[in-house]
Amino acid sequence: MNQENRREAILEARAANKKLAELILKGTVYHEAVEVRGVDNSLHKFEVSPISDADLAELLQSTNVDLKDIGNRDKLASNMQFLQKGAGLATGVPDVAKALMPMESLKLILKSFELSGLTGAPKAA
């Protein structure tokens, strides 16, 4: 293989890899439906997706929560903030928690953790 053919093969491989990366980032996200009770006291279905490593790290850091502290009554405010922001990440609807009854966000986050394969996720009470 001469130098020019090799160069073309490398450029083609780069273009294919770039396109694949774009498809992965843009692609269809796996999701499952979860039914939760809204502030209107009706049941509503939301599509919940797995949470990425980056999103989980940002969520934990921005809410100052350690997963082992979920359910700790002394840290209720940060736990509620975690649930609210986490529900938005899980559903893709940032303010979804404002429309839900208390603790319904937990159902959304637990499903997202399950879909993400996270073990040792907080247990629903």
Helices (H), 27-75: 53-63
Query: Environment class of residue 113 by beta-carbon count within 10 Å: exposed (0-12), middle (13-18) or buried (19+)?
Result: buried
Same domain, 62 and 112: yes
Q: Is residue 97 over pLDDT 50?
A: yes
pLDDT digit string, tens, across residues 32-74: 999 999 999 999 999 999 998 889 999 999 988 887 877 778 8
Same domain, 17 and 36: no
State the pairing for strand pair 32-37/43-48: antiparallel
Same domain, 10 and 65: no
Predicted TM-score (pTM) of the model is 0.70
Same domain, 35 and 22: no
Rounded CA-CA distance 88/96 in Å is 6
In a domain? residue 96 = yes
